[in-house]
Amino acid sequence: MSKLSSSPADGDTTKSGNLVFSPVSIYSALSLAAAGARGKTLSELLDALGAKSRESLAESVRGVVERALPDGGPRRGGGGGPRPEEARKQINSWVAKKTSNLIDSVLPPGMVKSNTRLVVATAIYFKGVWDTPFDKSLTREHKFHRLDGGAVDAQFMRSHDDQFIATYKGFKVLRMPYAVHDSFGGLWAMASGAQPGSLIPRAMPPPPEYSMCVFLPDARDGLRSLEEEIAASGPGFLAEHMPWSRVEVGDFRVPKFKLSFYDSLKRVLEDLGVKAVFDPNRADLPDMVEGSEEPLYLADVFHRAVIEVNEEGTEAAASTALLFLGKACGPGYERPKPVDFVADHPFAFFVVEEVSGAILFAGHVLDPTKL
C-alpha cells in the first residue's frame, strides 16, 4: 500500500491545511476494481496498489480484511436494482450505519446517474481507548506553532507516565497503543439489476493490535521534508521506526484534534499512474459485473474521512466510493534520560494495525483548532 499511504491531496499537502484519510478504505475499494480488470488497466492498478499480480493482491486484501477489519468479507446479492437517486441514498445510508453516523454521506446528489452500472463503496469505523488514558485535569491550553509562522491556542493533553518514544535524526516518533478498540467495516457493491452486498461475519483471526504513531519533526517547519522521507522510503518505514520501549518523559504534550476530509481522488490516482481505468476508450474491466457484456470504465472515486483524538482515545471513520459507467456513457532496552515530546508544531499521524502493518488512518495536523 506504499503509494496509497501517501497523501491523497495534490502537490505540497502542507499548503492545503489539516489532512486525514484512510489508506485501507481506498486500497480495499481499488482492489475490487483490480479484480475485474485486465491488461494495461490491471497493471496500472496493481502498480498503485503495490502488488505484483492479481493473486498476490487478493491474498494481501484478505490479510488486511481479516486483521484490520475482522468484521467480515465481501458478498454480492441479487435482485431488482433501485433508481439512481434511491441508490445514492441507499449507499449513503449504508455508509452512515457502518460508520456509526460519523459519515452521513459519501456520494453527493446527482452523482449516481441512469447510466451508472456499478457502485462500489467501502466503510470503516474505528473507536479505540488508550492503553493509558490521559488525565483530563492535566489538559492545558498552549501555543501550537503553524507553518506560516503564526501560533494558535490549542488544548494539549499531558502526562507524566513513561511513553513509547524513539528519537531519530531530525524527528521523534511516539506510539500510543489502544487497550480497547471497536473496529469494523464493509464493502458494498451494487451492479445494475442487483441489490447491494455487504460484509458478513467470518472466522475471527487473532485480535488485532492498534496504535497511533505520531511523527514529530524537530524543526517547526520540518513536516514537508519528513513526509517526503516517509513517502520515499516505502511501507517498511513505519514498522522500522515504531518504538517498542517506554522511556521516561520530561515535557510531554500532544494536542487534541478533530479533522475531516472529502474530495475526489481521480486526479491523485491519475498522478500515480492509474489512467486507463478512467478512459472510456482504454478501460479494460470485463470481469467487474458477472453476466454483463457492457464495457465499463471508472468515472470517479470519492473519499471522506473523519477523526477525533482526545484524552480517552480515538474515534474515526472513512468511506470510499467508486462509480463505474457504461462506455456507452529495537533490540534490547536501555533506559534513556527523560525525553521531551512536545507536539506544538505540525506533525504527521498514523493509526496502524501492528501485526499486519495496515494503515487505517493517516494524515497531518497543521492547526489542531481547525477542522
Tens of pLDDT, residue by residue over 34-62, are 989 999 999 999 999 988 988 888 887 77
Query: Measured between alpha carbons, how far is 218 from 341 in angstroms, rounded to an integer?
Result: 10
In 98-170, DSSP assigns E strands to 116-130, 140-145, 151-158, 163-168
Phi, psi (5° rounding) for residue 226? Answer: -70, -45
Supply the pLDDT for residue 204: 39
Give the domain 3-365 fold: Antithrombin; Chain I, domain 2 (3.30.497)
209 band by pLDDT with thresholds 50, 70 and 90: confident
Cell numbers given for 102: 460519523
Length of the chain: 371
Q: Angle CA(78)–CA(59)–CA(277) in degrees, nearest 5?
A: 65
206 band by pLDDT with thresholds 50, 70 and 90: low
Supply the pLDDT for residue 106: 93
Per-residue pLDDT at 331 exceeds 60: no
Per-residue pLDDT at 250 exceeds 50: yes
Using alpha carbons only, how large is the chain's radius of gyration in Å? 21
Averaged pLDDT for residues 297-325: 95
Supply the pLDDT for residue 3: 67
Query: Measured between alpha carbons, how far is 170 from 301 in angstroms, rounded to an integer?
Result: 36
Burial of residue 215, with CB atoms counted within 10 A of its CB: 0-12 exposed, 13-18 middle, 19 or more buried: buried
- How would you classify the pairing of strands 339-342 and 249-255? parallel
Find where cell 467470518 sits. Answer: 202
Contact 49, 57 (CB under 8 A): yes
Query: In what order do the strands lie in the sheet containing 339-342?
Result: 140-145, 151-158, 249-255, 339-342
Supply the pLDDT for residue 223: 96
290 band by pLDDT with thresholds 50, 70 and 90: confident
Mean pLDDT, all residues of the chain: 84
77 band by pLDDT with thresholds 50, 70 and 90: very low
Per-residue pLDDT at 308 exceeds 70: yes
Supply the pLDDT for residue 75: 33
194 band by pLDDT with thresholds 50, 70 and 90: very low
Per-residue pLDDT at 364 exceeds 90: yes
What pLDDT, in 10s, does the model give residues 132-165?
999 999 999 999 999 999 999 999 999 999 999 9
Supply the pLDDT for residue 70: 55
Averaged pLDDT for residues 85-106: 90
Three-class DSSP category at 32: helix
Per-residue pLDDT at 221 exceeds 90: yes
Supply the pLDDT for residue 196: 47
Supply the pLDDT for residue 203: 37
Ordered DSSP codes for 347-361: EEEEEEETTT--EEE
Backbone CA torsion sign across 120, 52, 124, 259: negative
Supply the pLDDT for residue 201: 34
Percent of the chain at pLDDT > 70 equals 80
Supply the pLDDT for residue 177: 94
Supply the pLDDT for residue 9: 56
Percent of the chain at pLDDT > 90 equals 53
